[in-house]
């Protein structure tokens, strides 16, 4: 079964629970849509923000358990690099403020590349 770790930047003020990444935000709906295009329904998906106190601990666990790691945005990707993670895929941040998401062709291309990367190994 596929195991996927999604890394975000920091909780939105609209998060239903600040300790649970993305839930309750518009970004969460975007992520759900993206996941439906990239992975099977039975995939185990864990979401965390880079500012979560358990971030480094979860990264170690995810690495040991062979999770595929996807950074959502530049800040999340930089946090991974800062902790020495080299094997991850970076998608654009799912925020409605991200103008890149207005380009449906760009988004489709990014999702297709991520889906292919997830299937590797």
All domains in the chain, ordered by first residue: 3-119 (3.40.470.10)
Distance (Å, whole) CA 80 – CA 77: 5
Distance (Å, whole) CA 16 – CA 107: 26
pTM over 0.85: yes
**Residue 59's closest CA among 80, 43, 39?**
80
**pLDDT at 13 exceeding the cut of 80:** no
Averaged pLDDT score across all residues of the chain: 93
Average pLDDT over residues 94-117: 96
**pLDDT for 57:** 96
Average pLDDT over residues 88-106: 96
């Amino acid at each position: 079964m596929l195991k996927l770790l999604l890394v975000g930047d920091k909780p939105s003020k609209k998060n239903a629970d600040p300790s649970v990444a993305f839930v309750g935000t518009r970004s969460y709906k975007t992520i759900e849509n993206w996941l439906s295009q990239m992975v099977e329904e039975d995939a185990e998906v864990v979401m965390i923000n880079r500012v979560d106190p358990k971030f480094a601990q979860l990264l170690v666990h995810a690495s040991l358990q062979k999770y595929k790691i996807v950074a959502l945005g530049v800040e999340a990707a930089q946090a991974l690099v800062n902790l020495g993670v080299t094997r991850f895929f970076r998608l654009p941040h799912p925020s409605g403020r991200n103008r890149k998401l207005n380009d449906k062709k760009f988004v489709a291309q990014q999702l297709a590349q991520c889906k292919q990367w997830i299937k590797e190994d």
